[in-house]
């Protein structure tokens, strides 16, 4: 009993000393301990306030009827959007909660009638319009109301059904998709518009059905150069040697000296043997033609501006008209961007609206309503949905651009006449 009392008194004494120490140094200890929590709560608060104050504008793009350009002008347009990444200061980020904003590029089929939309922060509307007009002077841009409000707020319900998914890449990000530069006829050398089959699938959507496809992008102030170089070293030039720090290299040198000191003092004198140099063929002779193409594509892709991207598809229809062949047709049109040696798109299993085994109906319903909400919010938060992917300007221009004159989509509205400047001197 006395021993237990002694232990208890020692515990009280220790607690008292800790309390005295904490009362004297609390102003130094508490900020260090609680700084990560405070930073998380503070950043969440100010970023939430900033995003809540951002106003959005939905623009419908009506393309000219006689576009004879490749998707390359759209690549220049996407490159121009990267300018918003250099506008944030430390005060903007940590005091005002400003973050790099996103844009949403959307292809919509409303009962087979095809629309092209760009949803932009209102503050960047002039940037978007200037970029489109610079590349497509005869295009028409209209501000429209949001089409997602034309359907019931809660889907699925007794009248409407829904299917949706996010998309992911089939290989790591440094592998590029099949870009528009590879869509050429072997005989004539003319480029085939990569979106021709996409628009064709959109026109096949029947009455009381809607197919929504969005590409949410946020420019990143980084390139995939380092990741691409590491992949090149691992796949084509052998394994990358481990990079140790200064301390690790110093300790390795000390171990090497003392490890060989005893053997050097007691053993016979030996002269260093010159290892026979092994001749290795140049890299270009060790790669197959397919590997050379992949290596060149990765290197060409690595230097272009990169966007954090979310690709999402939602198909909505009245239950009696719901036709899953529209889903298969659209996803099939995206397979043309895939190549076994390069990269491609596939539905993400975490977000696809289906479930197996337990509570199938309830889990499917949860996924359907979640992806419906995420689409309407234009939400690209990877914590709420599938992981985002990284696409450069060339890849984005491939999967979203204004169709050329060879794309025959009768339900896609196009500008019927060319705009021109009024000649001076005309009487008013």
DSSP per position, 22-61: HHHHHHHHHHHHHHHHHHHHHHHHHHHHHHHH--EEEEEE
Is residue 287 a contact partner of residue 295, using CB atoms and an 8 Å limit?
Answer: yes
Local confidence band at 35 (pLDDT 50, 70, 90 cut-offs): low
**Per-residue confidence (pLDDT) for residue 42, from 0 to 100:** 79
Mean pLDDT within 117-141: 94
In the chain, domain spans: 12-53, 58-223+304-399
Local confidence band at 324 (pLDDT 50, 70, 90 cut-offs): very high
Res 368 pLDDT > 90: yes
d(CA 386, CA 350): 6
Local confidence band at 414 (pLDDT 50, 70, 90 cut-offs): confident
* Average confidence score pLDDT of the chain: 81
Mean pLDDT within 249-256: 64
> Which single residue is written with the structure tokens 């939400």?
379
Measure the CA angle with vertex 118, ends 112 and 124; round to 5°.
170
Res 239 pLDDT > 50: no
Residues 6+ positions from 424 with CB-CB distance below 8 Å: none
Res 411 pLDDT > 80: no
- Highest average pLDDT, of 91-100, 332-341, 403-412, comes from 332-341
Of 14-28, 289-303, 367-381, which range is least confident?
14-28
Closest CA to 352 of 315, 406, 391, 397: 315
Q: What would the pLDDT profile of 71-116 be if each residue is shown by its tens digit? A: 889 999 999 998 887 767 778 888 888 888 999 999 999 999 999 9
366 preceded by a cis bond (ω within 30 of 0): no
Looking at per-residue pLDDT, the higher value among 409 and 114 belongs to 114
- Highest average pLDDT, of 109-113, 280-284, 300-304, comes from 109-113
Of 64-68, 134-138, 423-427, which range is least confident?
423-427
CA 259, chain centre distance (Å): 51
d(CA 121, CA 98): 13
pTM above threshold 0.75: yes
Local confidence band at 421 (pLDDT 50, 70, 90 cut-offs): low
Mean pLDDT within 286-301: 75
Q: What would the pLDDT profile of 192-201 be if each residue is shown by its tens digit? A: 888 989 999 9
pLDDT cut 70: percent of the chain above it = 74
Of 157-161, 260-264, 297-301, 407-411, which range is least confident?
260-264
Q: What would the pLDDT profile of 173-189 be if each residue is shown by its tens digit? A: 888 898 888 887 766 66
Res 422 pLDDT > 60: no
d(CA 114, CA 202): 7
Local confidence band at 305 (pLDDT 50, 70, 90 cut-offs): confident
- Highest average pLDDT, of 1-5, 22-26, 124-128, comes from 124-128
**Per-residue confidence (pLDDT) for residue 240, from 0 to 100:** 42
**Per-residue confidence (pLDDT) for residue 157, from 0 to 100:** 92
d(CA 399, CA 118): 14
**Per-residue confidence (pLDDT) for residue 96, from 0 to 100:** 84
Mean pLDDT within 269-274: 54
Burial class (CB in 10 A: 0-12, 13-18, 19+), 41: exposed
Mean pLDDT within 41-51: 85
Local confidence band at 212 (pLDDT 50, 70, 90 cut-offs): very high
Res 172 pLDDT > 60: yes
- Highest average pLDDT, of 6-10, 68-72, 152-156, 260-264, comes from 152-156
Of 136-145, 214-223, 389-398, which range is least confident?
214-223
Local confidence band at 215 (pLDDT 50, 70, 90 cut-offs): very high
Is residue 388 a contact partner of residue 374, using CB atoms and an 8 Å limit?
Answer: no
**Per-residue confidence (pLDDT) for residue 273, from 0 to 100:** 52
């Amino acid at each position: 009993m006395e021993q237990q009392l002694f232990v208890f008194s020692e515990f009280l004494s220790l607690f008292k000393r800790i309390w005295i120490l904490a009362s004297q140094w609390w102003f130094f200890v508490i900020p260090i301990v609680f700084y990560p929590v405070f930073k998380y709560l503070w950043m969440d608060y100010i970023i939430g306030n900033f995003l809540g104050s951002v106003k959005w504008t939905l623009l419908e793009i009506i393309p000219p009827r006689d576009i004879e350009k490749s998707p390359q002008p759209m690549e220049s347009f996407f490159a121009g959007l990267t300018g918003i990444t250099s506008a944030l200061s430390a005060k903007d980020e940590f005091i005002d909660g400003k973050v790099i904003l996103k844009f949403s590029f959307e292809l919509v089929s409303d009962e087979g009638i095809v629309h092209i939309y760009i949803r932009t922060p209102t503050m960047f509307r002039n940037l978007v319009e200037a970029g489109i007009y610079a590349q497509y002077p005869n295009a028409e841009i209209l501000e429209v109301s949001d089409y997602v409000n034309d359907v019931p707020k809660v889907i699925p319900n007794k009248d409407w059904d829904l299917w949706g998914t996010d998309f992911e890449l089939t290989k790591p990000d440094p592998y590029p998709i099949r870009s528009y530069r590879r869509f050429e006829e072997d005989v004539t050398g003319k480029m085939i518009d990569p979106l021709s089959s996409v628009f064709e699938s959109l026109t096949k959507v029947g009455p009381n059905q809607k197919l929504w496809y969005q590409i949410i992008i946020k420019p990143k102030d980084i390139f995939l150069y380092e990741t691409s170089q590491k992949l090149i070293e691992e796949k084509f030039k052998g394994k990358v040697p481990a990079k140790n720090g200064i301390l690790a290299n110093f300790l390795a040198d000390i171990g090497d000296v003392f490890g060989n000191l005893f053997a050097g003092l007691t053993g016979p004198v030996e002269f260093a043997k010159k290892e026979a140099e092994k001749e290795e063929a140049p890299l270009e002779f060790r790669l197959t033609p397919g590997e050379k193409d992949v290596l060149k594509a990765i290197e060409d892709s690595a230097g272009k501006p990169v966007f954090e991207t979310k690709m999402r598809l939602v198909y909505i229809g009245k239950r009696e008209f719901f036709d899953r062949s529209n889903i298969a047709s659209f996803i099939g049109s995206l397979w043309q961007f895939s190549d076994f040696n390069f990269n491609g798109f596939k539905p993400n299993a975490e977000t696809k609206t289906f479930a197996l085994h337990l509570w199938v109906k309830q889990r499917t319903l949860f996924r359907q309503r979640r992806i419906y909400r995420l689409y309407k919010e234009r939400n690209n938060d990877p914590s709420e949905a599938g992981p985002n992917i990284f696409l450069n300007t060339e890849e984005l221009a491939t999967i979203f651009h204004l169709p050329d004159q060879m794309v025959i989509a009768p339900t896609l509205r196009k500008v019927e006449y060319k705009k021109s400047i009024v000649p001076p001197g005309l009487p008013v």
